[in-house]
Structure 1
């Protein structure tokens, strides 16, 4: 086998339903990769509440050190709100991973699954969200938080937009649009936030001149939200800053069926983290009821990313097999309760793996 025919993948199961949905995604991806002649080598690493119990940290230094050797990681949800103190007030483990490894791009596809009731069954878009700066208090300052209260009755927040970060996310978004339907929409609010999102818009337009085959338009974020509801099929790739991307991607997920089906990757130029949009759902943890579709879809997106990075078509083929397998499993009536079915998490995974 060539080096790209063996893929080491780090696995962090996380909290709540993570230990249920992550193994299903791992088993399915293992089958899909094997069908392409690719051997996945899976390595479990301590993470989340289990790591607090055994190593005294939700994201142990040994885990961070080990992850430096992996280009692909599969990460379950975290439930940091339930951690004991002082871990509850520490940065969330997912945020630590994103910042430590510079995962500056958050890619969130929104595509309806045939046979699943959706408000917008014809939606098929990709939201490319800048993931390293903006208004979020954990990523808008070099040191410390950019959210503060000068008096108990006044709260201020600093938003950060830089040319460097805007340029690199624009390049990733335009490359994605070129590989899709060659349409890109820049989402901003430059009529009000003239300097910050105005800089973001202008840099994206500059980058767009390097991609003449891609048709470019721009929308204010409020208009974009309305247009996603009214005619989502008209859009292909959206690129936007952090806060706007977070909101629009949740909207797009609901339009395509459910936030519980929403897949996501966080990536840099060298590493990718597959992590579903949904949370740990502690209320159903351990009951075998969780829908693994979002986690499986996230792993599929990570395989697409890696296949592009190493120029190996087998990874994209495995990713497509996972997506087709999800659709075929749902079409066969094997659905978890959130989709109106009676199948458990494991039953869904077993049926999917049999298809693969």
Structure 2
């Protein structure tokens, strides 16, 4: 796709399941407000089928037309999926987000955790980012060309294999160090090399090798079990944390909760050519349709994808739009606006309105 700075950006929308049809439109509202305020051309939105609705209409949670359509947009917003409720055989297959990550080789999963001024949190002053390798490790179906990473030779024995490669470890390490150079220049490598000496030992050593190219960055490393304790006791001491797939998934849930709520935990999944905004939390089917879901994570994820797109398109207006979204969320929370999980009384839609108003009035 040939674009210039004045070409409207095309962003995909995948509403997903559960609270997805509530929080994704909330993010879209804020993106539109921020794009208008930044002076960039209006976004052209393209919605594609995904999840339970796609099973009903296309016979699969991720139709081929969705994969083809996402290749025509600049980036996309993915709502959460409720794959455990899908009928078989879909429930036992790679879930929609895993399918998209694998198909587009979205190897970097960036998950910030930051305490909001004026909001309740478990820890004080945390502002860190988990940089998670997104394609390997012990997660079945993401790290094999065909088949799965799990199998059962007998009904009473289950086996999982985890894969760690130097190439994948070094490319995620480089993402972490590049990010640290734009932040506080501190990278923490998390592994379990005292037990998983070959696999996570390779990951640790590959990260250390990349560190030599960034002499300005302070580097330390911890075992995964010790890291959970450090985060609870002194989360504010950490800047960028780089780790493998499963450890990153676990740590980012922890840091999201420490910052106040999983409802505020954003993320972006990216490669050099594609990016997907995806809240770190799940589909919360128990509160779907009740207008009480927290849209902050999805809204901030959309800001992250605009920031990624700004670098790829060399358009500072998109970076400005991303900052306007972040500032709008901060201002709304500081003004006492929040959904029930975050100590407030706002609904999903009214909170998004409040953020959009802050963006427009800034």
How many equivalent pairs are there? 356
Match of 1:20 among 2, 19, 22: 22
Find the aligned partners of 1:318 and 1:270 in 2 and give their Cα distance: 20
State the secondary structure of the residue aligned to 1:35.
helix
Maintained 8 Å contact 2:98/2:142: no
- Normalising by structure 2, we get a TM-score of 0.95
State the secondary structure of the residue aligned to 2:286.
coil
1:4, distance to aligned residue in structure 2 (A): 5.6
State the secondary structure of the residue aligned to 2:276.
strand
Say which is worse superposed, 177-186 or 152-161, in terms of deviation. 152-161
Q: Residue in 2 aligned with 1:57?
A: 60
1:133, distance to aligned residue in structure 2 (A): 0.4
Find the aligned partners of 2:320 and 2:11 in 1 and give their Cα distance: 18
Find the aligned partners of 1:195 and 1:86 in 2 and give their Cα distance: 35
Alignment of 1:258-297 (within 5 A): 258-297=261-300
Say which is worse superposed, 340-349 or 158-167, in terms of deviation. 340-349
1:232, distance to aligned residue in structure 2 (A): 0.9
Q: Which structure 1 segments of 5+ residues have no match?
A: none
Find the aligned partners of 2:47 and 2:98 in 1 and give their Cα distance: 19
Alignment of 1:1-356 (within 5 A): 2-3=4-5, 6-38=8-40, 39-356=42-359
Pairwise CA RMSD: 1.4
For residues 93-140 of structure 1, the C-alpha deviation after alignment (integer angstroms, 9 at most, x for no partner) is 111111110001110000011111111121100110000000111223
Say which is worse superposed, 56-65 or 102-111, in terms of deviation. 56-65
Find the aligned partners of 1:144 and 1:6 in 2 and give their Cα distance: 40
State the secondary structure of the residue aligned to 1:287.
coil
1:2, distance to aligned residue in structure 2 (A): 4.1
Maintained 8 Å contact 2:108/2:133: yes
The 1:220–1:310 alpha-carbon spacing in structure 2 relative to 1, beyond 3 Å, is: same
Maintained 8 Å contact 2:5/2:313: no
Find the aligned partners of 1:5 and 1:209 in 2 and give their Cα distance: 39
1:88, distance to aligned residue in structure 2 (A): 2.5
1:206, distance to aligned residue in structure 2 (A): 0.9
Find the aligned partners of 1:310 and 1:238 in 2 and give their Cα distance: 27
Find the aligned partners of 1:350 and 1:141 in 2 and give their Cα distance: 43
Find the aligned partners of 1:150 and 1:264 in 2 and give their Cα distance: 37
Maintained 8 Å contact 1:21/1:290: yes
1:36, distance to aligned residue in structure 2 (A): 1.1
For residues 222-254 of structure 1, the C-alpha deviation after alignment (integer angstroms, 9 at most, x for no partner) is 111111111111110011101111111111111
Q: Which structure 2 segments of 5+ residues have no match?
A: none
Maintained 8 Å contact 1:4/1:310: no
State the secondary structure of the residue aligned to 2:43.
strand
Maintained 8 Å contact 1:117/1:257: yes
For residues 173-227 of structure 1, the C-alpha deviation after alignment (integer angstroms, 9 at most, x for no partner) is 1100011111101111111111111111111111111111111111111111111
1:57, distance to aligned residue in structure 2 (A): 1.8
1:333, distance to aligned residue in structure 2 (A): 2.1
1:5, distance to aligned residue in structure 2 (A): 5.3
- Normalising by structure 1, we get a TM-score of 0.97
Say which is worse superposed, 181-190 or 313-322, in terms of deviation. 313-322
